């Protein structure tokens, strides 16, 4: 099964092509530079950029299906023949418009998967409309995908060779941490008990059909800002660029995390919810009266202190939830997981809790991408969860589990 996946929920225009859950191409057109001077995502600018980039990005992703790229010529072919074969096929694409490239290559696609929500409404609309248009025009099956489920299953993206072949043991506990959401999600697989008592053949069939029937229960989430959003806002207060997370990470490496005393909100409460707005406010009031040069001299210390408070909060609740739900696998994902310090601390926690942890294999699988949307599309396709009336698929900015 070949899947074309599309993601436009925030400020990245993304398309990917997968063969089942194996990634063949992953294209991301980032709008970071367009939003940087405003210190955050500007919806109208995001929409315009998505509209401009959506077709070129899809065409670029589909190029992996061009025979010249994929064709495995026999080692017995004379070199000149191989070269000519590749060159002539490539040239047939060279003078085509993006629309014509899509028209030529989309025939090999079986399913189109698109992020339906949650996210920025007018940004989501661009991807959903394009997916609908292509699915109707070329008579492809269509699947709507939850962006947060995409982040969770980013852990299951395989390369062309089917690696890594990760097996999640259930129940699993997933932590997704990005600029838009911070959630702890219990992932169960209701199909597992069905296996018990079945004949070997039935068992295999059931396994094939049902094993990926994930059930998600949100057991904790932020009551206000997301963790990535808090890092971005703190960066803005220090006069740093956007997005702040990666800049704070770089500065924090050189700073003293005990420089500023900051709260770990809700950390003593029994629930698994987070809050980052109190932390942000405390940070603001502590540096509000500081002259600019004092902030400038202490950027590393301030970054280290703020980042440590955010990561402490994340880990305290994650640990509590692990102790309570006793998951067999831990999953972590989302844009903030691009942070090496957080990955290190999560690995240490997993070791302490004697539970294996999966984190996305590549940096670009942490932040928004369409590969993760394609993987969710793959599992949904296995369960025949296609959109019945393609015209009716609508964006859902508040889509939940």
Residues near Zn ion (CB under 5 A): 178, 368
Short-list 247, 275, 254, 253, CA closest to 263: 275
* Contact partner, 231, from ligand KG4, Zn ion, none, Cβ < 5-8 Å per class: ligand KG4
Question: Could you check whether the bond before residue 118 is cis, i.e. omega within 30 degrees of 0?
Answer: yes
Going by DSSP bridges, is the β-strand pair 182-188/111-117 parallel, antiparallel, or unpaired? Answer: unpaired
Short-list 185, 172, 175, 287, CA closest to 228: 175
CB of 134 to ligand KG4, least distance (A): 24
Nearest 10 degrees: CA dihedral of 50, 227, 336, 156? -80
* Contact partner, 228, from Zn ion, ligand KG4, none, Cβ < 5-8 Å per class: ligand KG4
Which residue's CB is nearer to Zn ion, number 7 or number 308? 7
Which residue's CB is nearer to ligand KG4, number 220 or number 334? 334
Q: DSSP string covering 7-29, please? A: E-SSSEEEEEEEETTEEEEEEEE
Short-list 295, 310, 318, CA closest to 245: 310
Which residue's CB is nearer to Zn ion, number 184 or number 322? 184
* Contact partner, 244, from Zn ion, ligand KG4, none, Cβ < 5-8 Å per class: ligand KG4
| Alpha carbons 138 and 103: distance in angstroms, whole number | 9
* Contact partner, 249, from Zn ion, ligand KG4, none, Cβ < 5-8 Å per class: ligand KG4
Please give the angle made by the CA atoms of 269, 270 and 275, to the nearest 5 degrees.
45
* Contact partner, 255, from ligand KG4, Zn ion, none, Cβ < 5-8 Å per class: none
CB of 273 to ligand KG4, least distance (A): 19
For residue 71 the two structure tokens come to: 């064709």
| Alpha carbons 22 and 24: distance in angstroms, whole number | 6
> CB of 116 within 8 A of CB of 393?
yes
CB of 244 to ligand KG4, least distance (A): 5
Binding residues (CB under 6 A) for ligand KG4: these are: 10, 178-180, 228-229, 231-232, 243-246, 249, 334-336, 338-339, 367-368
Short-list 380, 383, 394, CA closest to 3: 380
CB of 280 to Zn ion, least distance (A): 20
* Contact partner, 377, from ligand KG4, Zn ion, none, Cβ < 5-8 Å per class: none
* Contact partner, 245, from Zn ion, ligand KG4, none, Cβ < 5-8 Å per class: ligand KG4
Burial of 326 (0-12, 13-18, 19+ CB in 10 A): exposed
Which residue's CB is nearer to Zn ion, number 178 or number 329? 178
Which residue's CB is nearer to ligand KG4, number 66 or number 176? 176
CB of 353 to ligand KG4, least distance (A): 23
CB of 42 to Zn ion, least distance (A): 18
Which residue's CB is nearer to ligand KG4, number 102 or number 373? 373
For residue 282 the two structure tokens come to: 């405390």
Q: What is the maximum span of the chain, computed from C-alpha positions, in angstroms?
A: 74
CB of 84 to ligand KG4, least distance (A): 42
* Contact partner, 273, from Zn ion, ligand KG4, none, Cβ < 5-8 Å per class: none
For residue 56 the two structure tokens come to: 């070129």
CB of 115 to Zn ion, least distance (A): 9
> CB of 112 within 8 A of CB of 6?
yes
Which residue's CB is nearer to Zn ion, number 152 or number 235? 152
């Amino acid at each position: 099964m070949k899947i074309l996946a599309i993601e436009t929920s925030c400020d990245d225009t993304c398309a990917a092509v997968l063969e089942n859950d194996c990634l063949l191409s992953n294209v991301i057109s980032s709008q970071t530079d367009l939003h940087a001077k405003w210190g955050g995502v500007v919806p109208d600018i995001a929409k315009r950029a998505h509209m401009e980039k959506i077709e070129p990005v899809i065409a670029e992703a589909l190029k992996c299906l061009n025979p010249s790229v994929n064709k495995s010529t026999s080692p017995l072919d004379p070199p000149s023949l191989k070269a000519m074969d590749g060159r002539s096929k490539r040239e047939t694409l060279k003078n085509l418009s993006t629309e014509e490239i899509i028209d030529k290559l989309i025939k090999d696609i079986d399913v189109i998967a698109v992020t339906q929500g949650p996210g920025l409404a007018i940004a989501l609309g661009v991807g959903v409309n394009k997916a609908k248009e292509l699915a109707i025009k070329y008579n492809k099956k269509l699947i709507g995908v939850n962006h947060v489920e995409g982040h969770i299953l980013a852990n299951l993206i395989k390369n062309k060779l089917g690696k890594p072949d990760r097996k999640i043991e259930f129940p699993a506990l997933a932590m997704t941490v990005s600029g838009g959401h911070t959630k702890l999600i219990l992932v169960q697989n209701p199909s597992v008990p069905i296996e018990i008592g079945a004949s070997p053949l039935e068992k295999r069939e059931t396994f094939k059909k049902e094993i990926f029937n994930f059930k998600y229960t949100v057991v904790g989430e932020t009551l206000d800002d997301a963790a990535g959003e808090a890092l971005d806002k703190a960066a803005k207060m220090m006069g740093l660029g956007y997005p702040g997370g990666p800049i704070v990470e770089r500065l924090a490496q050189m700073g003293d995390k005990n420089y500023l005393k900051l709260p770990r909100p809700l950390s003593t409460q029994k629930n698994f919810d987070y809050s980052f707005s109190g932390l942000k406010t405390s940070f603001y009031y502590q540096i509000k009266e500081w002259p600019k040069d004092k902030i400038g001299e202490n950027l590393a210390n301030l970054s280290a202190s703020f980042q440590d408070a955010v990561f402490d909060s994340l880990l305290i609740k994650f640990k509590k939830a692990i102790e309570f739900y006793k998951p067999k696998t831990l999953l972590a994902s989302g844009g903030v997981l691009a942070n090496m310090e957080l990955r290190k601390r999560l690995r240490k926690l997993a070791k302490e809790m004697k539970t294996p942890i999966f984190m996305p294999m590549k940096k670009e699988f942490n932040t928004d991408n369409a590969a993760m949307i394609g993987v969710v599309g793959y599992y949904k396709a296995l369960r025949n969860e296609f959109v019945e009336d393609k015209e009716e698929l609508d964006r859902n900015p508040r889509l939940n589990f």
